[in-house]
């Protein structure tokens, strides 16, 4: 099917409980013809599995050692954006892998394109093994398309030595954050880094503030990039940029970004557990000088942390073209629930430092955060991580053109970071662009 042809008329789509019958009926891919029962009868099967996360090769090796009838063949993809490109080509060519890693923001789009298999009947009985927020990420219209592999507690990590030197406390609110940034600026230190290619900063702050860029209104999508929550987030970001409180280092030179943190050029990050592994792998000077604090709140509001962007939860998805859907779904469940596999992925040394998506992940916190990085702050950091999991926002919806929208936003965000336009200019552009893009795709939209 040609999914960019504006003459094709698609119904609306949304995450978790939105009626997608028309869309899925129009675009759902067909099975390859081999039933799962037939696959089992024919003997051992090999399932292709694509992913990019550190630790997956070890998990696959453990799976293969413990399973005789099913084997996984692992291919490491460069990153999640490369995954989308390669998957697009593979779906068109009819040779997509059975299993693949992806993140929550892409699920609706791939379901709309008929690329993913409904695996509800294979995995629904395991639902209670996972925390509700992570489980919901893999659902569309109440059907399950992916098994969660990680949740994303969000918090601030900061340089204790620098904050102590200048008499600063870890910021409790975004107002405090800006005030601390202004003090640090006097000493040629930046409080945060805004990479010009990464608008996820705007997304997560809008999410935290209660925004909904995409929602459903009747049988149409509703688009709103200029709601109260988004404008509240925009003000914080604009204040930081206007006052030159941010570094502008691109993650294209990942090592340079990490050196900047290590040397004290930039001294805070709002991150999750998985991002700490990169710090451990690249730092040389500041081990033991970092501590965790809660994600800053908006003044006068209760603590709420964003569900994240690529922090929205990793998933193992089963593709529609897979000839062996049941064993593929069972393999996905094993990788997310087997104690050894979960421990491997949770460790920043053997895996990606991700918090598991399990209903009770408390026993893995110590594995997911690096003592080497935190030093004496390691024990209190564990409580910060657990507390943050209780404040993660739910109810955020990823729209059917999310990938295209985010690509457009990247270009506009670069202009914001370079002070060529305001955040509000970006938002106005994205409102118009997203509505028009959905209309061109034949999707009913309001906004």
What one-character DSSP code corresponds to residue 33? S
Residues 248/417, Cβ–Cβ less than 8 Å: yes
Q: Tell me, what's the pLDDT at 313? A: 55
CA-wise closest residue to 238 among 422, 425, 427: 422
Q: Can you say whether residue 173 is alpha, beta or left, with left for phi > 0 and alpha for psi between -120 and 50 degrees?
A: beta
User: Cα dist. 10→320, 330, 400, 439 in Å?
Assistant: 19, 32, 11, 10
Bridge partners of 291? 158
Buried b (16+ CB within 10 A) or exposed e, 344-368: bbbbbebbbbbbbbbeebeebbebb
CATH code of 45-150+312-368, in short, is 3.40.190.10
Q: Which residues in 5-86 belong to E strands, given as ranges?
A: 45-51, 70-76
Beta carbons within 8 Å of 301's beta carbon, 6+ residues apart: none
Q: First CA to last CA across the chain, in angstroms?
A: 27
Domain boundaries, the chain: 45-150+312-368, 154-304+374-441
DSSP, collapsed to helix, strand or coil, labels residue 6 as coil
DSSP, collapsed to helix, strand or coil, labels residue 228 as helix
DSSP, collapsed to helix, strand or coil, labels residue 259 as helix
CA angle 205, 163, 348 (to 5 degrees): 65
Q: Tell me, what's the pLDDT at 327? A: 98
Q: What is the pLDDT of residues 370-427, one digit of tens each?
A: 999 999 999 999 999 988 877 777 778 888 888 899 999 999 999 999 999 999 999 9
Residues 12/216, Cβ–Cβ less than 8 Å: yes
Helices (H), 209-324: 228-242, 254-263, 276-282
Q: Tell me, what's the pLDDT at 148? A: 94
Q: Tell me, what's the pLDDT at 43? A: 66
Bridge partners of 271? 155
Residues 98/319, Cβ–Cβ less than 8 Å: yes
Residues 135/337, Cβ–Cβ less than 8 Å: no
Q: How far apart are CA 353 and CA 385, in angstroms?
A: 12
What one-character DSSP code corresponds to residue 266? B
- Domain boundaries 154-304+374-441, CATH class: alpha beta
Q: Tell me, what's the pLDDT at 248? A: 97
CA angle 278, 284, 285 (to 5 degrees): 120
DSSP, collapsed to helix, strand or coil, labels residue 15 as strand
- pTM of the model as a whole: 0.79
Q: How far apart are CA 155 and CA 144, in angstroms?
A: 29
Q: How far apart are CA 327 and CA 47, in angstroms?
A: 9
Could you say which residues of the chain have pLDDT below 70?
A: 1-43, 307-313
Q: What is the pLDDT of residues 267-321, one digit of tens each?
A: 999 998 888 888 998 999 999 999 999 999 999 887 877 765 434 458 999 999 9
Beta carbons within 8 Å of 281's beta carbon, 6+ residues apart: none
Q: Can you say whether residue 442 is alpha, beta or left, with left for phi > 0 and alpha for psi between -120 and 50 degrees?
A: left
Q: Tell me, what's the pLDDT at 7? A: 24
Q: How far apart are CA 218 and CA 198, in angstroms?
A: 32
Domains 45-150+312-368 and 154-304+374-441 share a fold: yes
CA-wise closest residue to 394 among 137, 96, 61, 23: 137
Q: How far apart are CA 90 and CA 2, in angstroms?
A: 15
Q: For the sheet containing 445-446, what is the strand order?
A: 214-217, 220-223, 445-446
CA-wise closest residue to 274 among 308, 232, 319: 308
Q: Tell me, what's the pLDDT at 81? A: 80
């Amino acid at each position: 099917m040609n999914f960019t042809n504006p003459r094709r008329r698609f119904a609306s789509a949304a995450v978790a409980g939105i009626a997608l019958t028309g869309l899925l009926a129009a675009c759902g891919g067909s099975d390859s013809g081999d039933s799962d029962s037939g696959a089992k009868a024919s003997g051992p099967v090999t399932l292709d599995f694509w992913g990019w996360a550190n630790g997956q090769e070890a998990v696959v090796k453990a799976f293969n050692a413990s399973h005789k009838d099913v084997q996984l063949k692992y291919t490491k993809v460069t990153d999640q954006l490369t995954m989308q490109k390669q998957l697009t080509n593979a779906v068109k060519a009819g040779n997509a892998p059975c299993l693949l890693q992806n993140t929550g923001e892409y699920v609706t789009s791939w379901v709309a394109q008929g690329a993913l298999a409904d695996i509800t009947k294979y995995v629904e009985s395991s639902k209670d093994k996972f925390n509700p927020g992570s489980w919901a990420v893999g659902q569309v219209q109440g059907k399950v398309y992916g098994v969660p592999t990680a949740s994303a507690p969000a918090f601030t990590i900061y340089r204790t030595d620098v904050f102590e030197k200048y008499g600063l406390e870890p910021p409790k609110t975004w107002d405090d954050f800006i005030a601390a940034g202004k003090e640090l600026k006097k000493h040629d230190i930046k409080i945060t880094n805004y990479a010009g290619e990464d608008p996820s900063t705007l997304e997560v702050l809008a999410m935290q503030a209660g925004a909904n860029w995409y929602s459903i209104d009747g049988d149409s999508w509703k688009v709103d990039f200029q709601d109260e929550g988004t404008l509240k987030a925009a003000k914080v970001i604009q204040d930081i940029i206007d006052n030159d409180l941010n570094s502008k280092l691109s993650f294209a030179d990942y090592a340079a970004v990490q050196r900047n943190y290590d040397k004290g050029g930039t001294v805070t990050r709002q991150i999750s557990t998985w991002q700490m592994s990169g710090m451990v792998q690249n730092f040389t000077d500041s081990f033991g000088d970092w501590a965790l604090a809660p994600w800053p709140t908006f003044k006068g509001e209760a603590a709420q942390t964003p569900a994240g962007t690529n922090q929205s939860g990793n998933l193992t998805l089963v593709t529609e073209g897979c000839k062996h859907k049941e064993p593929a779904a069972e393999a996905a469940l094993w990788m997310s629930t087997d104690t050894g596999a979960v421990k491997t992925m949770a460790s920043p040394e053997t895996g990606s430092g991700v918090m598991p998506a399990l209903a009770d992940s408390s026993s893995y916190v110590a594995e997911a955060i690096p003592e080497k990085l935190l030093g004496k702050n390691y024990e209190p950091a564990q409580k910060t991580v657990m507390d943050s999991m209780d404040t993660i926002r739910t109810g955020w919806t990823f729209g059917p053109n999310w990938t295209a929208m985010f690509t457009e936003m990247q270009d506009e965000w670069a202009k914001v970071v370079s002070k060529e336009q305001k955040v509000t200019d970006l938002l106005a552009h994205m409102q118009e662009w997203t509505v028009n893009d959905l209309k061109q795709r034949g999707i009913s939209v309001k906004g």
